[in-house]
Chains A and B, each alone.
Chain A
Amino acid sequence: NAGVMQNPRHLVRRRGQEARLRCSPMKGHSHVYWYRQLPEEGLKFMVYLQKENIIDESGMPKERFSAEFPKEGPSILRIQQVVRGDSAAYFCASSPPDTINEKLFFGSGTQLSVL
């Protein structure tokens, strides 16, 4: 009965490196959402995915950021050539399929620190 699992919990990268954040949704959930929380700010929507499909990526920065949710395996949020401004907590959430107005279940987040 595991909840939404995110790993790693903490990730340290130097400027210019790549960061890969993983999210395994709750069992039976096929919708995944990524949010970013900058220091002293709220949760900013980034992307909404279903299996093998990006439904809404309106919150994703135009460059360096990408997300996927393959048929098998976890959802991945990838940040290429990280910069200090990417330092934030990244939260993943999931919801069941074929539902509307369903509450989201969040993971504990990945804290990304860019040195």
Chain B
Amino acid sequence: DQQVKQNSPSLSVQEGRISILNCDYTNSMFDYFLWYKKYPAEGPTFLISISSIKDKNEDGRFTVFLNKSAKHLSLHIVPSQPGDSAVYFCAASEHNNDMRFGAGTRLTVKP
């Protein structure tokens, strides 16, 4: 029962270019969406979030877009830096902190 899906297991981009990570969800009751970043041998760390009442949230180089009708969100990183290389998890919750995660996308930013 995979309610949050990240269909691309990996993504490779050149330094300075845009990274776009995608996420789809099936549960229309989800109302809060987050992106987490994970380095090897560490726990995930929060990156950026968006409420279902918005369609865009920006924080520096990171922007999250939400398309409720398509049940789709994306994370844009621009410009991408080698230090952004990590696994990115999309997460969603249903108003009760019970958070569900996608399988993750491994981003590699090449110098």
Q: Mark B29-45, 1 if CB is under 8 A from A, else 0.
A: 00110101000011111
Secondary structure class of chain A's binding surface, majority of residues: strand
How many angstroms from the CA of A108 to the CA of B43 in the assembled complex? 4
CB atoms of A45 and B99 under 8 A apart: yes
CB atoms of B95 and A91 under 8 A apart: no
Please tell me if A1 contacts chain B, counting CB pairs below 8 Å: no
CB atoms of B101 and A107 under 8 A apart: no
CB distance from A72 to the nearest CB of B (A): 23
Measured between beta carbons, the chain B residues less than 8 angstroms from A107 are 43
Shortest Cβ distance from A104 into B: residue: B99
Interface size on A, residues (CB 8 A): 27
In the complex where A43-B89, A48-B98 touch, is A103 in contact with B43 (Cβ < 8 A)? no
Measured between beta carbons, the chain A residues less than 8 angstroms from B32 are 101
CB atoms of A106 and B44 under 8 A apart: yes
Please tell me if B49 contacts chain A, counting CB pairs below 8 Å: yes
The 10 sampled A-B contact pairs (Cβ below 8 Å) are A6-B43, A31-B97, A42-B103, A43-B101, A45-B98, A48-B97, A102-B97, A104-B46, A106-B44, A106-B45
Residues of A that sit less than 8 Å from B by CB? 4, 6, 31, 33, 35, 41-45, 48, 55-56, 91, 93, 95, 99-109
